[in-house]
């Protein structure tokens, strides 16, 4: 028979989602007496990591690329 290509994709809830559900259950059953900010904290972990990586990348780009742009910009006007 013909070969068929199958692609597998996993779409699960993930660790942060499971942790959030566990914290919500514990909060609603009065096992933990945390603020809702801390109960929902695992939901922000992914966003905080992405924002942190973007901030670091932006700082690196500004520090390394900023000085080259200034030099080339000055050179363009000096040649005229």
Overall domain count for the chain = 1
- Residue 21 within any structural domain of the chain: yes
Q: Is residue 73 part of a domain?
A: yes
In the chain, pLDDT over 70 holds for what percent of residues?
69
Establish if 7 belongs to a structural domain.
no
Mean of all residue pLDDT scores within the chain: 82
Give residue-wise pLDDT tens across range 3-34.
555 666 667 888 889 999 999 999 999 999 99
Residue 34 structural domain: 14-79
User: pLDDT at position 46, please?
Assistant: 83
Q: Flag whether 49 is in a domain.
A: yes
pLDDT reported for residue 45: 86
Helix axes 14-28, 41-79, angle to 10 degrees: 140
For 15, 17, 20, 36, 59, the CA distances from 27, given in Å and listed in that order, are 18, 15, 10, 8, 39
């Amino acid at each position: 028979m013909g070969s068929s290509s199958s692609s597998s994709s996993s779409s699960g809830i993930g660790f942060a989602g499971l942790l959030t559900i566990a914290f919500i259950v514990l909060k609603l059953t009065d096992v933990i007496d945390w603020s809702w900010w801390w109960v929902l904290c695992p939901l922000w972990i992914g966003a905080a990591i992405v924002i942190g990586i973007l901030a670091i990348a932006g700082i690196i780009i500004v520090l390394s690329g900023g000085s080259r742009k200034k030099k080339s910009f000055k050179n363009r006007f000096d040649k005229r």
